[in-house]
Amino acid sequence: MRSKVFSIVFFCCVSLSAFSQYRLSGTVSAQEDSTAIKECVVYLNDGKSSTMADGRGRFLFEDLPNGSYILHFTSPGFQYHQQPVTIQNNNQHVRVRLASRAETLEEITVTDAAVDFGFTRMRSVENMGIYEGKKSEVIIPEQLTVNLATNNARQIYSKVAGINIWENDGAGLQLSIGGRGLDPNRTSNFNVRQNGYDISADALGYPESYYTPPVEGIGRIEIVRGAASLQYGTQFGGLINFIMKKPVADRKLALVARQTAGSFGFYNAFTSASGTANKLSYYTFFQYKRGDGWRDNSHFNNHTFFANINYAVTPKMKIGVDVTQMGYLAQQPGGLTDDMFRTDPRQTNRERNWFKVNWNLLALHLDHKISATSDLNLRLFGLSAYRYSLGFRPNRVATIDDSSERDLIKGDFTNWGAEARFLKRYSIGKVPSVVLVGSRFYKGFNHSVQGLGSTSRDADFNFVNPDEYITYDYRFPNRNVSLFAENIFYVHEKFSITPGIRFEHIRTTAEGYYDTVFKDLAGNVLERTRTEEDRVKGRHFLLAGIGLSYKPLTHVELYTNISQNYRSITFSDMRIANPSSEIDPNLQDEKGYSFDLGVRSEQTVLFNYDVSVFYLNYDNRIGEVQTYDERERVVRRRGNIGRAVIQGVEAYAEADVLGLIFPQQYQWSGVVFNNIALIHSVYEASDIPGVTGNEVEFVPAVNLKSGVRLGYGNLRGSFQYTYLSDQFADATNATDGGVSAVVGTIPAYAIMDVSLSYQLKKLRFEASVNNLADRMYFTRRATGYPGPGILPSDGRGYFLTIQVKI
């Protein structure tokens, strides 16, 4: 009897073991720089079972019995790889690194736990672009322990060396960043894109970005410095490309819901849905955000909708569509004088100032793999948008609102474009090479009207008696055609040369009228004249550049590049609607070149660094100086200031100290990073008296961001310290802001931020304290909306987020 019972128990145990089901998961990354390889196809054994890696390079097979398996990895741009795996009574996790097809590298299988820095750089060839020898940075927001709900740029871009940030609001409605002396205003000195297409009001005529994608919906942020002009356009700053999150590949429906509440009445709700069903995949989200603001009269409401839908026509061809709709209404408390800021930074004397934005984007894309070595990409994109500003904005900031008619400006933007890229891998003898050629057509039509608005306090964006009180009405049609090409020549397995050229044809037009109105001290109209204008500026030119890359050691790269840069005058440069400002009629386009020389790591598992020097020659730099008109009134004159030279050192280093010291333990992580830019700037030549020899505006000599992140299991905490030294707001290096406070110094400031996160199965809890020491500071002196005057940054704020994944 005992023998029979024993046999039954033994049979059950063996059967249970035989029929147990286990999970086989893993991550796949690039051998070159350890970045995740998204959309890598992973086959199991004979290929009947397959999956695709997600945006973080993760893949999963479920319900597998004990046994031996072979994983097969295929991805465009990488060598085929296979990995044997054995499942024996437990789940298995593997980490695989693929070698690039463009280089002959030994394949390596990594089994150590990886550290998520949330920061890496572009590969040599990636997403139909060439980045060999260029200075680039990639931010992966999901891997950061920071405040994502408020789009806190100070934390999100903390590891990008030399970035100067204007903190326009505490909710991240608009992103305003610059670098190397470039004006941060609405990121207008970068070519700003989403999934590879333009999102600014007008890429050439008005390159200001009123729409910033919610960071909670962004998969990665790609930043390429000055040499990006050859592939992406003519901005001195380079490229910022927001890559939205990709559809999950292994499920038909995956939901993420995030709820955030915080100080100053802040509330944020973010919900996304994603999935893949046969040949169809999608990712979509909706965000609603509101708040009362740190200062009175700072209330806002914001919503953003995004949808990306893709269809695999064939295994080699995929088409897709992106739809974006964003809108917000914000009350603006106005600017302060220096005395007002020192007395009480939270005060406001404006309650009738409003700002409204509506942004609609549509993009179509086609990706076709012509052969194993040839790829084609086509993008069609369009924008229909408006921005309305309304308020009482006298040049004297301290003036009390007299409840008179408000100044109303309406800007409507309509544009569309097409961009085609062809990437080819080929060989010259035994030397592998990669060539990228492309073309772009862009057409915009923008309309700007200014006049008197109502005397009420609400957000009434209607003109009072338009036939009589419209003082400015302009149309700005423009057209742009460009051709570009770059080629990587791998002269040696350790050395490459990447030359490139870009041809541009630009036609900018301004047609309309403006009124000149003179009033007495009582506000009565003394004189009024109307000027009709029709200005056309057409030009074409050729840009060139070259990059070099040398890899003396496995994980070390020396790089350098030099590239010509160009920035077209915008239609706001051609005509301005401000009684206290004027335009130089002889305004010229900005020209120059940028140079980088640096050394960086090619290892991002336990350490990462990039140390470089740069030189920026900025000729015909456009800016504003304070002067007097024929009536002896103080006015700001916008024109070519002169030739500016900006040079410095940018250094970033990050390491998992605990991982380096104790490589066998996986639970603890202790990551330390430091990012510093030491910059010298000077106007070497100028026709404006008193400018030659001055420092360039928006250039702090010291720009430091440092921090530490500690983690144990699913618990993470981060601390960040930010310091920027004094900087000037205009080319005259004025130190006193005066009655308008639009000029003067921006004093040095130091800010601390703390964040925590904890993952509990499908739940995630996040908490943060922004401006821990409650410092009173400001980063901007606004010349117009939302000022004029000093715009104080937010004091200490507390935020809590709960996330659920289903």
Kindly state the average pLDDT of the residues 502-527: 80
Between 539 and 260, where is the model more confident? Answer: 260
Dihedral of the alpha carbons of 187, 188, 194, 196, in degrees to the nearest 10: -130
Banded pLDDT at 615 (limits 50, 70, 90): very high
Between 503 and 169, where is the model more confident? Answer: 503
Out of 4-8, 349-353, 438-442, least confident range: 4-8
Going by C-alpha positions, the residue among 218, 282, 221 that lies closest to residue 245 is 218
> pLDDT tens, 72-87?
888 867 777 888 998 8
Looking at residue 45, its amino acid is: N
What pLDDT does residue 740 have?
87
Q: What are phi and psi of 342, to 5 degrees?
A: -65, -35
Distance CA 700, CA 697 (A): 8
Tell me if 794 sits within 8 A of 153, measured CB to CB.
Answer: no
Sequence-separated contacts (24+) of 84-93 with Cβ below 8 Å: 85/24, 87/22, 87/24, 89/17, 89/20, 89/22, 90/22, 91/22, 91/23, 91/24, 91/25, 92/22, 92/23, 92/24, 92/25, 93/24, 93/25, 93/26
Please give the C-alpha separations between residue 775 and each of 465, 722, 786, in angstroms, as whole numbers.
46, 12, 22
On average, the pLDDT of the chain sits at 88
Distance CA 132, CA 33 (A): 12
What pLDDT does residue 52 have?
81
What pLDDT does residue 501 have?
95
**Among residues of the chain, what percentage have pLDDT more than 90?**
59
What pLDDT does residue 574 have?
63
Kindly state the average pLDDT of the residues 736-758: 94
Structural tokens at position 236: 């001195």
Task: Determine the topology of domain 120-232 in CATH.
Answer: Ferric Hydroxamate Uptake Protein; Chain A, domain 1 (2.170.130)
What pLDDT does residue 47 have?
61
Q: What are phi and psi of 15, to 5 degrees?
A: -65, -45
Distance CA 170, CA 256 (A): 24
Kindly state the average pLDDT of the residues 692-711: 95
> pLDDT tens, 737-746?
888 899 999 9
pLDDT at 577 exceeding the cut of 60: no
Collapsing DSSP to helix, strand or coil, 3 comes out as helix
pLDDT at 640 exceeding the cut of 50: yes
Banded pLDDT at 112 (limits 50, 70, 90): very low
What pLDDT does residue 787 have?
84
- Read out DSSP for 389-433? EEE---SSTTPPP---PPEEEEEEEEEEEEEEEEEEEEEETTEEE
Banded pLDDT at 428 (limits 50, 70, 90): confident
Distance CA 702, CA 704 (A): 6
Between 228 and 230, where is the model more confident? Answer: 230
Pick the CATH number of 239-805 from 3.40.50.620, 3.40.50.300, 3.30.70.3270, 2.40.170.20: 2.40.170.20
β-strand partners of 493: none
**Which H or E run contains 327?**
strand 317-331
pLDDT at 106 exceeding the cut of 50: no
Distance CA 166, CA 389 (A): 19
Extents of the domains making up the chain: 18-111, 120-232, 239-805
pLDDT at 214 exceeding the cut of 80: yes
Banded pLDDT at 485 (limits 50, 70, 90): very high
Longest dimension (CA), the chain: 117
End-to-end distance of the chain based on CA atoms, in angstroms?
Answer: 50
Structural tokens at position 388: 């309305």
pLDDT at 104 exceeding the cut of 60: no
Burial 737-768 (b: 16+ CB within 10 A, else e): bbebbbbbbbeebebbbbbebeeeeeebebbb
pLDDT at 111 exceeding the cut of 50: no
Banded pLDDT at 631 (limits 50, 70, 90): low
Going by C-alpha positions, the residue among 500, 675, 599 that lies closest to residue 139 is 675
pLDDT at 413 exceeding the cut of 60: yes
Banded pLDDT at 586 (limits 50, 70, 90): confident
pTM of the complete model: 0.85
Kindly state the average pLDDT of the residues 568-578: 68
How far does Cα 264 stand from its chain's mean position?
A: 26
From the number of C-beta atoms within 10 Å of its C-beta (0-12, 13-18, 19+), residue 532 rates as: exposed
Which residues, including other chains, have CB under 8 Å from residue 522's CB and lie 6 or more apart?
none
Helices (H), 121-233: 153-156, 229-232
Out of 8-12, 159-163, 715-719, 734-738, least confident range: 8-12
Structural tokens at position 509: 């037009």
> pLDDT tens, 658-678?
888 887 777 888 999 999 999
Task: Determine the topology of domain 18-111 in CATH.
Answer: Immunoglobulin-like (2.60.40)
Distance CA 557, CA 569 (A): 37
What pLDDT does residue 15 have?
42
Residues in the chain: 806
Banded pLDDT at 447 (limits 50, 70, 90): very high
List of E strands, 725-777: 727-728, 745-746, 749-760, 763-770
Q: What are phi and psi of 189, to 5 degrees?
A: -100, 10
> pLDDT tens, 294-338?
999 999 999 999 999 999 999 999 999 999 999 999 999 999 999
What pLDDT does residue 8 have?
45
Out of 101-105, 137-141, 680-684, least confident range: 101-105
Tell me if 482 sits within 8 A of 440, measured CB to CB.
Answer: yes
Between 468 and 371, where is the model more confident? Answer: 371
Collapsing DSSP to helix, strand or coil, 230 comes out as helix
Kindly state the average pLDDT of the residues 721-749: 93
Pairing of strands 581-583, 634-656: parallel
Which residues, including other chains, have CB under 8 Å from residue 756's CB and lie 6 or more apart?
145, 715, 716, 717, 718, 765, 766, 767, 768
